Amino acid sequence: MHRKAVRYATRTTTAAAGAVAGAASSVAAAAVAAAIIFSPVPDASARMEGVHEDLLRAVQLNQITEDQAVKFEARLAGRILGGA
C-alpha cells in the first residue's frame, strides 16, 4: 500500500508541475502577443528601409539575386507606399 501512495504522490506532483508549466507558457505567449498587438506601427518609410536592409542581406547571403531583390522591393514599395 505504501508503494501505491508514493506512486500516486509522484504522479500528482508531476501532473501539477506540468499544469503550472503549461499555464506559465500560456501567460508568456499572451504577453508576447499583447506586446506585438499594442506596439506602434512603423511608418511606411521605416518599413521600406527595413525591407531594403533585409533584401540586401539576402543578396549578400546568396539567397536571392540582385534582380529578384530589386523587383520584390519595387512590388512591396507599391503596396506599402501606395497604401499610405
| DSSP secondary structure string for all residues of 14-30 | HHHHHHHHHHHHHHHHH
Q: What percent of the chain has pLDDT over 70?
A: 55
Contacts of residue 50, defined as CB under 8 A and 6 or more positions apart, other chains included, come to 42
pLDDT in tens, 26-43: 767 777 766 666 666 678
- The three grid cell numbers given for residue 8, joined into one nine-digit string: 500516486
The residue assigned the cell 533585409 is 54
Q: What is the pTM of this model?
A: 0.49
